[in-house]
Amino acid sequence: MIQSIIVDTGALYALADRSDRWHAPMRDFVADQRAVFVVPIAVLPEACYLLNTYLGPPAERQLLAACVRGELVVEPVEATDLQRALQLLETYAEANIGFVDAAVVAVAERLRIPRVLTTDRRHFALVRPRHCAALELLP
């Protein structure tokens, strides 16, 4: 059975930037996986902005091309996910987890996916999701 992994902004950026300290661990992890990589749509604008700003327009286009080719499955953020994201932002207000991270958690909960590919250990380790005891942070 092929499992799904939710993908966060930092993972997408690290995969593209060879100078990023997370690049090699992310590249090696992804190469060894037979998984469906699910990207909540809220992640794409943030990742595209970072890629375009720091690596240039070709890096942004490569990310979108990967989505078009189906290498990454883009998942909508539904109304219930927005509601849950707001609850998470309120619950973790002191930590300022931000909308994108809250949306990632909400989508993970809805799809019942416990695994998140991310560089953000601080925020995702803090959140207690509804569908599992804790998110498994990868790599």
Q: Which domain holds residue 23?
A: 3-138
pLDDT, average across residues 63-80: 98
- What is the Cα–Cα distance from 45 to 24, expressed in whole angstroms? 24
User: How many Cα atoms are found within 13 Å in the side-chain-facing hemisphere of 96?
Assistant: 0
| The pLDDT of residue 1 | 79
Q: Could you tell me the two tokens for 22?
A: 């997370």
User: How many domains does the chain contain in total?
Assistant: 1
Per-residue pLDDT tens for 22-31? 999 999 999 9
What Å distances lie between residue 122 and 53, 64, 125, 126, CA to CA? 24, 27, 6, 6
CATH number at residue 28: 3.40.50.1010
Q: What would the pLDDT profile of 108-117 be if each residue is shown by its tens digit?
A: 999 999 999 9
